[in-house]
Structure 1
Amino acid sequence: MYSIVMLVSGTGLGHLLTFLSLPILTRHFSPNDFEVLGVFVAIVALLSSAACCRFEIAIPLPKRDKNALTLFLLSLICTTIISLLSLILILIFESKILEASSVPVFILYLVPIGVFCAATFNALQFWATREKAFDLVAKTRVSQAVAGNGTQLLAAFLSIPSGLVFGQLLNYVSGIFSTSKYLLTHHGQVLKTIKKKHLYFIARRYRQYPQLSTFEVLANNGGIQLPIVLIAYFVVGPEAGYLFLALKILQVPMALIGGSIAQVFYAEVAKASKDQVAMITEKNLLSLLKLGVGPLIFIGCTAEVFSGYIFGDGWRRTGEIMMILTPWFALQFLASPISMIMHVNNAQKQMLCLTLFGFAIRIGSLIFAYFVFSDHYTEFLGLACAVFYLICLITFSYKSNVSYYRLLGQAAIPIGIVFLWAILAVAVRGVFL
């Protein structure tokens, strides 16, 4: 419980700073500026998620620190190669990329830097998870928020439109300093002893991660990130900017509570016996239901009421989108934190099939909307994602051997809390709309 509180505190402060800065940023930057930021973040998030070739998610698993450090080193090598390849591709296809998007040319060349820093920090977070250094992760997230939001606010007052992207880049960069210092201080000597022969041995031993999990995470993040890019391409106007801001706000409960529980969950089940896994999963599902689903429903259902007041004139569409996407995020909030059970059980093939289905249904929904209902991209995307995460929740629970009878027996209070949040949201909408 202390681990969750520590992570939630640090993550919460970081997201509080981000949320407090948004009303200022939305009054200085246009939805089109946020659209450019959304496309940049989408590309970096997609590439960085696979840049380590998924060696990073295996870091908490080995018993020996040397093997775990070798996995970290493999992650770093892969990240460097992928970042350089992305730079080469940008150089080759620069003109075609610019024709298909509204992203300024100089921002394209920030993508490889963002990919390297984001992927490196991701690997360092998995090392911190192995060490259970959750206080370090919490402090790092606060420093990222200060650096990133501070840069964006400064750019707002100086009227620099590209400042949103530079602030996001600084967020990626600042994340690696304290975590890398911790690793080098405590394990720098062991890193020096790792030879090429051991790199080859560990790479072969954990080859199922790049072979299977890389495609899985690309499909998963492609389904999450590509809709912003596609909507920016399909729709004339700032719809992608509204969607990006809506996603950014709705992801706060996921990052604040869900992400913290996910890290602790992985650290616990990686070393738990088969009998303990079901109990740990049930405990985490109940915590997620009790702590986050209710507030998420309230935020989504009342966003239409308050978005104009909070973010300024012209941002009401963001509130409408948040309400449409609420079922998606409620189900994702429950499913995503326990998804690592698939890797603990070496179920990479099943996870790949599930994720490919998610990619197909999400991208397929946008293509269908493009040809049939061109004014309803967001509605079709929200429905497709809700269906996908419901299937994920059922699959992950099954893989964890969750007892639904036992789970439902303990869920009366959490369900009651969610119900009260929903009633409050309906009351607020009745008063103000």
Structure 2
Amino acid sequence: MAVSRAGILPATLTLLAGGLLAQLLPLLLGPWLTRLYLPEQFGHYTLFVAVAANFAVLACARYDFALPLARDETEARDLMALCVRVLLCVTLTSALVALAAALIVGASMFWLWLPVAVAIAGAGQWLTQWSTRAGRFTALSGSRVTQYGGAALAQVAGGLAQAGVAGLIIGPLLAGGLALAWLRQPSPLGGWGGLRTVSRSALRTIALKHRDFPLFNTPHAFAGALQDTLAVALLVVFTGEAAAGFWGLAIRYLKAPASLIGGAVSQALYPRLVHATPADARTIVRQIMSTLALTALPLVLLLLAFGPTLFASVFGEQWREAGTLARALAPYIGLHFVASPLGVVTLAWGAQAWALRLALVGQVMFLVALALGLHIGGTVGGAWAVSVSMTLYFGWFFWRLPAQCPRPLPIDREL
């Protein structure tokens, strides 16, 4: 069927409205949080989130992203049942890793919250894609408001109670658990109990049908999460935990627009691309890229001109170094803003193998540039090196992406 930008606009605006409200509290409370917690505590929290993200991308083996492609309710039910089983296995694995870290390695006890974080994140990803398939964009917006706004409020409460790193970690977990209530609805074909009765043969069939997701998209997503973990580890090794805290704050706030706008665009774009003709799909992707680039440009210029001053004024003078990092990372952040929602394009087009190969190259470039920059010029040198290397990487990605649209689209192919 024909695809126009108008077809995506209502869903995007609904998600964007929820996202704006979801980001409002964290943005308003951020300056308070930086006065309640030390940079070193933010460094610990940044590392915890990075490690949890590594498990979270494995949580459903990315089969959750196949839900919008399901042809009927039976296939959707089988995919959901598969997601639940994989999520339970990954959560158990993370619990064993956390217990070993606490008892054998002697790591901080807050790592015992790792399996809770993995379970909540995995369930959120699964139910988000399920709601996207059903077009439940109001529920998606409500979930985001509860998750992000609630996390900031809970972290403030933890800071006032002088809970330290635990306050930063537990707050988002409580909010994430509450956010799942927005996404819950009776499962197709028999309610939630129907998920337990799916046969092994049905699970095997559906797993093989959508095998590209664990084979290509899962390594892709895991490599991206691992990149963030290794980046934080490099910062701690080269410059200490406070530097990791500065980096974490800068990345958290600089990527907030990409999370807000990019998340809304991708959730509305994915199901639309699945049903688009090749010509319409290429057209709409080019239009989205152009619009996102024009939106990102003012942010980049603002950071380049006033980054350190802005961060010192808003978060306190002790966070000026985070603003210096923000200035150095500005080109990378602008390009990431454009690329962030385009991850679903390769899912819809069945180009996951190409995306995986390119992403691995980009992640190696990122880490090598960061390590060399840290060695030569410290934290700021590492940030500028990342911006230079990622400009080359994203430039190639944007140029080659439209050519990945297949004929016919994956939804029309037979197994």
TM-score for the superposition, normalised by structure 1: 0.85
Q: Percent identity?
A: 23
Aligned to 1:241, which of 221, 241, 245? Answer: 245
CA deviations over 1:280-323 (Å, ceiling 9, x no partner): 21232233234444245425642322211211120111111111
Partners of 2:364 and 2:103 in 1: how far apart?
28
Q: State whether structure 2 residue 395 is matched by structure 1 residue 395.
A: no
**Distance in 2 of aligned mates of 1:15 and 1:238:** 25
Distance 1:86 1:43 in 2: 10
Unaligned runs of 5+ in 2: 1-8, 407-415
Alignment counterpart, residue 346 of structure 1, candidates 344, 347, 350? 350
Q: Find the aligned partners of 2:372 and 2:104 in 1 and give their Cα distance.
A: 25
Report the equivalent of 2:48: 40
Which stretch has the larger CA shift, 66-75 or 128-137? Answer: 66-75
CA shift in 2, pair 1:136/1:237, >3 Å = closer
Question: Is the CA contact (8 Å cut-off) linking 2:246 and 2:321 kept in structure 1?
Answer: yes
Does residue 125 of the first structure (1) align with residue 128 of the second (2)?
Answer: yes
Offset of residue 234 of structure 1: 2.9
Q: What is the CA–CA distance in structure 1 between the aligned matches of 2:139 and 2:70, rounded to whole Å?
A: 21
User: Are 1:50 and 2:54 matched, yes or no?
Assistant: no
Question: Quick one: distance in 2 between partners of 1:141 and 1:94?
Answer: 32
Deviations 1:411-432 (A, max 9, x none): xxxxxxxxxxxxxxxxxxxxxx
Distance 1:33 1:264, change over 3 A: same
Select the residue among 98, 114, 123 that pairs with 2:117: 114
Aligned residues of 1:334 and 1:393 also touching (Cα < 8 A):
no
C-alpha change, 1:377 and 1:55, in structure 2 (3 Å) is: same
**What letter matches 2:117 in structure 1?**
G
CA distance in 2, matches of 1:380, 1:95: 38
CA shift digits 1:103-144 (9 cap, x unpaired): x62211111110111011011111111111111110111111
Q: Could you tell me which of 21, 24, 29 is aligned with 2:32?
A: 24
Separation in structure 2 between the aligned mates of residue 47 and residue 199 of structure 1, nearest angstrom: 22
Q: CA 1:202/1:128 → structure 2, altered by over 3 Å: closer, same or farther?
A: same
**Given that residues 98 and 114 in structure 2 are in contact (C-alpha distance below 8 angstroms), is that contact kept between their aligned partners in structure 1?**
no
Aligned partner of 2:338 in structure 1 is 334
Give the Cα–Cα distance (whole angstroms) in 1 for the partners of residues 388 and 190 of structure 2.
Answer: 47
* Structure 1 unaligned spans of 5+: 99-103, 402-433
Number of aligned residue pairs: give it. 396
| Offset at residue 23 of structure 1 (A) | 0.7
Residues in 2 aligned to 1:301 and 1:79: alpha-carbon distance in whole angstroms: 45
2:413 equivalent in structure 1? none
Q: Which residue of the partner structure matches residue 319 of structure 2?
A: 315
Output the CA distance in 1 between the equivalents of 2:136 and 2:303. Answer: 31
Given the two structures, how large is their TM-score scaled by the length of structure 2?
A: 0.89
Match of 2:154 in 1: 151
Deviation of the 1:249 alpha carbon: 0.7
Q: Which residue of 2 aligns with 1:417?
A: none
> What's the Cα RMSD here?
2.3
Instruction: Quote the residue 1:429 is aligned against.
Output: none
Larger mean CA deviation between 144-153 and 378-387 belongs to 378-387
- Aligned-pair CA distance for 1:261: 0.7
Q: Letter of the 1:42 partner, please give it.
A: A
